[in-house]
Amino acid sequence: MIDALFIYGTLAPGQPNEDLLKPLAGHWEPGYVHGTLYPPGTPPIVAYPVIKLEPSGTLINGLIFTSAALRQHWQRLDHFEGEEYERVVTQARTTKGEPRTVYIYVLNETR
């Protein structure tokens, strides 16, 4: 089971929805993925940023949150993110270049 989440938006510390992850004990580290980051106000998602993963895309910085407690919270996080987002597995890298298998919420192109 994957116990890491790549965060690039409002779930990060200091952001509006940080309270969803704040109670969970875990480790934060800077990291990145490749793709296209659509900022808030860009259709089809208007209110929040969203990523479309693309191996040849631009480097998108974020945070990797690792916590065994995430296993009990995926359903709650999926509900919070809604049908506009899809949780998928990808490879992120730390700023030291170390690979990490993580979940990430990306644009749900099948809705």
pLDDT of residue 44: 66
The total of other beta-carbon atoms located within 10 Å of residue 92's CB is 24
Q: How confident is the prediction for the chain on average, in pLDDT?
A: 92
Task: Name the pTM for this structure.
Answer: 0.92
- pLDDT tens, residue by residue, 6-40: 999 899 999 999 999 999 999 999 999 999 998 88
Domains and CATH numbers, the chain: 4-107 (3.10.490.10)
pLDDT of residue 47: 77
Q: In this model, does residue 101 exceed pLDDT 80?
A: yes
